[in-house]
Structure 1
Amino acid sequence: MTHDDSGKLGTLAAQEDELRFADFTHDDAIAVGLRVIELARGRSQTISTSVWLGEQLVFQASLAGTTADNDSWMNRKAATVRRFDKASLLVAEQMASYGIDDPATARMVDPMAYAFNGGAFPIRVGSRQVGVAVASGVNDDVEHDLVVEALRAHLAATTREGAVA
């Protein structure tokens, strides 16, 4: 994939438009985190995952083979989502499309506080960001897709439950 791939930028932006919840609680955060773990185990992927509501870490789990470095990556990716109000992969791709391959070198951010890599996705209630779901341990695109798949499945499940109630 090239960084000028407007198709990928469009897909990432569309995912953010699609994945909006009517409500998102602590129970939802735990369910999403467990779903990420379930998906990763089913694919034999070694990952860590965390789900935040605001500044509160509601769920975190790490599969065998991960390290404390994954925790650091997750914190930095979550900070990127909070600061830029976009998925970390979307921010990375947008920066690259502007010719900025290393935002830290461009003196935009502290590299110890932010990471421009895939795997962190905003949790939205309507248009408001209320949290972040993160995965770390494989490559950027796989981490991003894993989180999106978990959020999409949870959104579908909660939408069905709401329709039945």
Structure 2
Amino acid sequence: MTATGSTAVAELIVQLEAEQRELVLTRFDNDDAWRLGVLLVDLARERGAAVTIDIRRGSHQLFHYALPGTSADNDSWIERKCRVVARFGDSSYLVGARGRLAGRSPLERGMDPLQYADHGGSVPIVIAGVGAVGTVTVSGLPQADDHALVVEALRHFTTT
């Protein structure tokens, strides 16, 4: 990785860490999962984005919706991204960026690529005073866009 590339990845890591500190909820129940999921579906529809959306508390899937143009492959990506968040407690995009900065592949970091995908799109659901309790995941767009869609929805959700 070039010095310029390293700087860009380091700046991305700082941004992603700040987002994660910002996106903290006061509560999260099944009804919240429904509202957040519908918000994501609406945002995706407005943009004509063919994505699959998944929301979990722990391993319990509370919301799952696949917009037209998606496939079972998106479900596989969701599973692999969720495993990264569950294992590391950080967004899948942040884990991937840290790996790129370190110059180490997922396999070199102990992640079988058939089981883990450190690509953007899965963000931990964090409750103040509790910690990470689940995940919000989007699959179908380039990784930065998957991540940005989740962040946009969580920002909106934390203000309503």
Provide the TM-score with structure 1 as the length reference: 0.90
Moved more, 25-34 or 70-79: 25-34
User: Gaps spanning 5+ residues in structure 1: where?
Assistant: 158-165
In the aligned structure 1, how far is the partner of 2:125 from the partner of 2:109? 28
Q: 1:110 is paired with a residue of what secondary structure? A: coil
Runs of 4+ in 1 over 4 A off after TM superposition: none
Of 85, 88, 100, 1:81 maps to 85
Residue 59 (structure 2) pairs with residue 55 (structure 1): yes
User: Gaps spanning 5+ residues in structure 2: where?
Assistant: none
Partner of 2:150 in structure 1? 147
In the aligned structure 1, how far is the partner of 2:6 from the partner of 2:53? 26
- Pairing of 1:82-121 with structure 2 (within 5 A): 82-100=86-104, 102-104=105-107, 106=108, 108-121=110-123
Partner of 1:24 in structure 2? 28
Q: Is the 8 A contact 1:4 1:96 kept in 2?
A: no
Give how far 1:3 is off. Answer: 4.7
Partner of 1:11 in structure 2? 15
Q: Is the 8 A contact 1:3 1:93 kept in 2?
A: no
Of 123, 129, 133, 2:132 maps to 129
For residues 107 and 88 of structure 1, do their structure 2 counterparts lie closer, same or farther at Cα, with a shift above 3 Å needed?
closer
For residues 31 and 110 of structure 1, do their structure 2 counterparts lie closer, same or farther at Cα, with a shift above 3 Å needed?
same
* 1:33-77 superposed Cα distances (whole Å, 9 cap, x missing partner): 111111111011110010001110000000111000000100110
Provide the TM-score with structure 2 as the length reference: 0.93
